[in-house]
Structure 1
């Protein structure tokens, strides 16, 4: 049995997790981000929405890293700023580090705005410096040296803790923003997602016309995608993973095998009755009845009760992972006992009917 990666810290909640908590990697299998990604890919068929959301979050992390390195390089050049009363950049980074990945709530919006404003200010300063530098050939040569790839994008091994060089260049942020636009948003793009035309026009104008690449550009689209996943996909994910432990291909296989087993049980039972076999011989019909009813109940409840009791959940066909979310494990155990009691009652009723009915040889 293959186990997907899962968080090492399990939050002992007494309720089902929210989409915010899943995307923030605060949950464990089978309701973790990995399982949600598999569900969006295999069952919901809309994994592009989740990939867009994750890429936008990665873009925000890239911007945060760039702003942090920019602040460090400024402090190295002007150490007296560290002691000044204005520590806006430091406050921005501290507040961002405390912010979790999720929808753009008030705290997230404040952080996004601060990081975006820092990036826009830095972009305006570079643009202004570039315009003024055209009056001097010497300044142009200096800018050419500063903007060279060897200095702007050093390899990780060349960057030391005391260096003002950046591991993330501004061109990386620009490329990240354009990749998101051209991959997910523009009509006819490789992995186009459906968002309101007004949001698309705003993002396209900000990136292509205003040359913006800050995280605030994608706020509206990110919120729209989050709400769409929360409304359309997440309830089904919870039903599938928190109340059940088998995937649709496995459910279909159980349905087919269960119907065959039940047909075999009825066929055998009638044959034994009409051959007037003894009740001891007819006791063997318990086996196909049990198999058939168990598999049909598993299909009906989307739950394999035995696997639930031992603590496993299926995330792809015949690949199982251990249930690590405590509240989900309790739910699955309760439902497993309910399914087993139902199977036992139906199995006992059918078996007794065909075992104790008087036989008559035809």
Structure 2
């Protein structure tokens, strides 16, 4: 019993807290969890949009998040379908049939055509699982910031079945568009058996509910565990860093070039014994920029962006404001520390190159 209670306590702790000391653990416990991010209950930069960007650009696992979100959306649609079907059934049995008012046939036909066109347009526009898209996750950030959305029509039985089947064709079947290769074969086979058994049924005798996305429950849980394994890396990239990987690589390359130029200029002034010594300060300028680029690249954080503009980079040269209070505090502390390292390193190089005696070769 003691062991079980201990395991339960560990399960409730933040993923990174298991490998950190008590002080760091207390900080991490104040950060959003994976479920907070998936249900859009967190603030930038630890938000669903940035999580998708990290999975896509750094880990190349964005398909896992796409699948989880598609299944979650299918579950929501199924609940709406069942609710609407139950409401319609109760209304059918409780409400007396009223005589229909007489309407001219030409007006009625026109009205029906407009209604059919409107319903078709709404379904194609608003049902996320029933039209082609690159990824559901890429639209989440914009849809969550635009306020209320127009009311969507409830899905029909055919649309619900198509939505469930589309997930199967997109993620589960071999060589699919976004096949999840991490899923065990047993889970894929159990899902495939559902569609195989459904095809053997006689459609004329089938009177039950449409395909229920519950068939993806096991796969969704497995994918959720895979996402949990990536979440500590996401926190590392967004809580302790504010630069993207291309930005880090670019800064490292520029920094090394600037250091090469600065060192070449300084050693040239020293071995040419150029006077006065104040001219050596010109060589310090590229060294300062080089040190800044190299250190910010290694640390993954730009102190100017954090302290001056309160920005975190999402994709190269596109930013969002650091809204989460705890993340903002952590990034500012790290920015101050990185700034101190940059100033100290620059001061060491300045003292060295300005105090070394010149000697003409």
* TM surpasses 0.5: yes
Q: Distance in 2 between matches of 1:354 and 1:34?
A: 47
CA offsets 1:167-190 (integer angstroms, 9 cap, x no match): 311111111111111110011212
In structure 2, the residue matched to 1:286 is 284
Give 1:295's match in structure 2, choosing from 293, 296, 312.
293
Out of 324-333 and 209-218, give the one that drifted further: 209-218
Q: Distance in 1 between matches of 2:339 and 2:68?
A: 40
Structural mapping, 1:191-230, within 5 Å: 191-194=178-181, 195-210=183-198, 213-230=211-228
Report the 3-state secondary structure (helix = DSSP H, G, I; strand = E; otherwise coil) of the residue aligned with 1:75.
helix
Task: Give the direction of change, closer, same or farther, for the CA distance of 1:153–1:189 in structure 2 (3 Å limit).
Answer: farther
Structural mapping, 1:185-196, within 5 Å: 185-194=172-181, 195-196=183-184
Task: Give the direction of change, closer, same or farther, for the CA distance of 1:173–1:152 in structure 2 (3 Å limit).
Answer: farther
Question: Is residue 20 of structure 2 the alignment partner of residue 33 of structure 1?
Answer: no
Structural mapping, 1:36-185, within 5 Å: 36-79=51-94, 155=119, 167-185=154-172
Q: Distance in 2 between matches of 1:338 and 1:323?
A: 18
CA offsets 1:205-255 (integer angstroms, 9 cap, x no match): 123314762132111000000101111x22221111111111111111101
Give 1:271's match in structure 2, choosing from 265, 268, 272.
268
In structure 2, the residue matched to 1:356 is 355
Task: Give the direction of change, closer, same or farther, for the CA distance of 1:56–1:158 in structure 2 (3 Å limit).
Answer: closer
In structure 2, the residue matched to 1:262 is 259
Q: Distance in 1 between matches of 2:52 and 2:342?
A: 33
Q: Does the aligned pair in 2 maintain the 1:152–1:169 contact within 8 Å?
A: no
Q: Does the aligned pair in 2 maintain the 1:184–1:193 contact within 8 Å?
A: yes
Q: Distance in 2 between matches of 1:173 and 1:217?
A: 13
Q: Distance in 1 between matches of 2:65 and 2:213?
A: 17
Structure 1 runs not aligned, ≥5 long = 1-12, 81-149, 160-165
In structure 2, the residue matched to 1:326 is 325
CA offsets 1:102-132 (integer angstroms, 9 cap, x no match): xxxxxxxxxxxxxxxxxxxxxxxxxxxxxxx
Report the 3-state secondary structure (helix = DSSP H, G, I; strand = E; otherwise coil) of the residue aligned with 1:27.
coil
Report the 3-state secondary structure (helix = DSSP H, G, I; strand = E; otherwise coil) of the residue aligned with 1:43.
helix
Per the TM alignment, residue 151 of structure 1 is displaced from its structure 2 partner at its CA by 11
Question: Is residue 241 of structure 2 the alignment partner of residue 253 of structure 1?
Answer: no
Per the TM alignment, residue 154 of structure 1 is displaced from its structure 2 partner at its CA by 8.0
Give the TM-score normalised by structure 1: 0.71
In structure 1, the residue matched to 2:128 is none
Give the TM-score normalised by structure 2: 0.71
Q: Distance in 1 between matches of 2:228 and 2:291?
A: 35
Per the TM alignment, residue 158 of structure 1 is displaced from its structure 2 partner at its CA by 10
Number of aligned pairs? 275
Q: Does the aligned pair in 2 maintain the 1:285–1:351 contact within 8 Å?
A: no
Q: Distance in 2 between matches of 1:152 and 1:204?
A: 34
Task: Give the direction of change, closer, same or farther, for the CA distance of 1:158–1:360 in structure 2 (3 Å limit).
Answer: closer
Does 1 or 2 have the higher relative contact order (CA < 8 Å, sep 6+)? 1
Q: Distance in 2 between matches of 1:332 and 1:62?
A: 39
Report the 3-state secondary structure (helix = DSSP H, G, I; strand = E; otherwise coil) of the residue aligned with 1:321.
strand
Q: Distance in 2 between matches of 1:157 and 1:317?
A: 36
Q: Distance in 1 between matches of 2:162 and 2:75?
A: 13
